[in-house]
Amino acid sequence: MKSDSIQNKSAHFLLTPELAFSPPNDAIVQALLECGYEVDLYSPLPLPNVAAYGPNVACYPVEYGKRWLLQNVFSSRWYQYQVFSGTAETPFATVGALAFWHRRSSFLLVDEIKSGSYYGDDPEYMKRLYHWAMRRASFCIVNDESRIKLLQEYAGIIDSSRIMIYPGCFHKPPQPMDRQALRRQWGIPEQALVLGVSGGFNETSGAEWLLAAFCRNPELYLVVQAINLPMFNRLLLTNIRGAERLHLEPNRLGWEEAWATASAMDIGLAIYLNQAPQFQHMGIASNRLCMFLAMGVPVITNRQPSFHFIEEYDCGVLVDNERGFIEAIDYIAARLPEMRENAYRCACEYIRAAERFVELRQRIALLN
């Protein structure tokens, strides 16, 4: 049964089903609901189960590309929506075309800025549609202040008053899991020093530095919750020296479960060595960095201007190389209780997801 407070409908387009509950997309759905919208999520197959959102959120299939767009943009089904939104660039062409043709408002979560070596292989005419959709949107969301100028350059200038920030962070983080129980499940001693990895795990995310430190330090334990890890790499990890100190998560965890389990780790890895502009302007766009800090876990990151707040809040260490990475582990281990508190403080004072969620809700409320 739908709530009586629902008066409008919105359509939010996802690039992949896995994004349905990611922190920024979850914030968009929750803000739309609080503004009185019924939310239809559109996702490629297989459709995610969105029952957790309640009766005012549904999910429908969509495809992206020129053919689908030409076949569907003029359909009368889109008249039911007052607002169109989308995330991760490829859906932007659909959002822009539907909002333009049906004279509706739109906003975009620009959490991927595919410039430089990260430009991608999409046809240039589609790229022009993406940029046009960004420029005509009522507002665009980026995940870090350092990405405002990057977006303006990429999309061909957007008035900065139409750009807002929402980080890669839940505005209501999940409750931490039981540390003792989780470590028993992982086969890790309660007092062991545990370094955690979440999300992508490859040569550009510090994997080489991490494995060198792990093999050198027999007191260090490792939890890897990697996504899209090739089977051969997984096999290698289970057979490296010290594998008895490694927990390799066999399943892809949901967003909230990954956050909750991070609380049982002591140090989080948030390294971005890819030289493409997006990855050199990460800051609080990094889901894993926001996750660790919000759950009270100090971080090791690579040195870049967008991460300077880590040093200011003393909740982690910026490193330039393998030697610095190894030294950072010892430094954090020696000051762990203090740096844990600093991580919570940084999440509250600098990331400010709860406050930024209110700003997002206010921006959506002004659309109609």
pLDDT, residue 235, reads: 82
pLDDT at residue 332 tops 90: yes
pLDDT at residue 315 tops 70: yes
Higher pLDDT, 242 or 49: 49
16 Cβ neighbours under 8 A, 6+ residues apart: 43, 44, 88
Higher pLDDT, 200 or 139: 139
Question: Looking at residues 66-74, what average pLDDT do you find?
Answer: 93
pLDDT, residue 47, reads: 96
pTM of the model: 0.94
Separation of first and last alpha carbons in the chain? 25
pLDDT, residue 2, reads: 44
Contact status, residue 74 vs residue 88, Cβ threshold 8 Å: no
Q: Which of 155-159, 240-244, 341-345 has the highest mean pLDDT?
A: 341-345
Strands 316-319 and 139-142: unpaired
pLDDT, residue 247, reads: 93
Question: Looking at residues 317-342, what average pLDDT do you find?
Answer: 97
Closest CA to 113 of 71, 143, 76, 138: 143
Query: Which region, left, alpha or beta, applies to residue 352 given φ > 0 means left and ψ of -120 to 50 means alpha?
Result: left
AA identity, residue 109: L
pLDDT at residue 291 tops 80: yes
pLDDT, residue 226, reads: 85
Contact status, residue 115 vs residue 154, Cβ threshold 8 Å: yes
pLDDT, residue 240, reads: 85
pLDDT at residue 321 tops 50: yes
Closest CA to 283 of 228, 73, 293, 50: 293
Alpha-carbon dihedral angle through residues 186, 188, 190, 196, given to the nearest 10 degrees: -80
Question: Looking at residues 253-267, what average pLDDT do you find?
Answer: 95
pLDDT at residue 65 tops 70: yes
355 Cβ neighbours under 8 A, 6+ residues apart: none
Confidence of residue 309 (pLDDT cuts 50, 70, 90): very high
Using the structure block, give the residue that is written with the tokens 């957007």. Answer: 158
Phi, psi (rounded to 5 degrees) for 199: 85, -140
Q: What percent of the chain has pLDDT over 90?
A: 88
pLDDT, residue 157, reads: 87
Digit-coded pLDDT (tens) for 171-215: 999 999 999 999 999 999 999 999 999 988 888 999 999 999 998
Confidence of residue 364 (pLDDT cuts 50, 70, 90): very high
pLDDT at residue 6 tops 60: no
Digit-coded pLDDT (tens) for 220-239: 999 999 887 778 788 888 88
Using the structure block, give the residue that is written with the tokens 């690039």. Answer: 15
Digit-coded pLDDT (tens) for 8-64: 999 999 999 999 999 999 999 999 999 999 999 999 999 999 999 999 999 999 999
Confidence of residue 1 (pLDDT cuts 50, 70, 90): very low
Question: Looking at residues 92-106, what average pLDDT do you find?
Answer: 97
pLDDT at residue 147 tops 70: yes
pLDDT, residue 271, reads: 96
Q: Which domains does the chain have, with CATH numbers?
A: 8-167+353-365 (3.40.50.2000), 179-351 (3.40.50.2000)
pLDDT, residue 3, reads: 45
pLDDT, residue 4, reads: 46
Q: What is the average pLDDT value for the chain, to the nearest integer?
A: 94
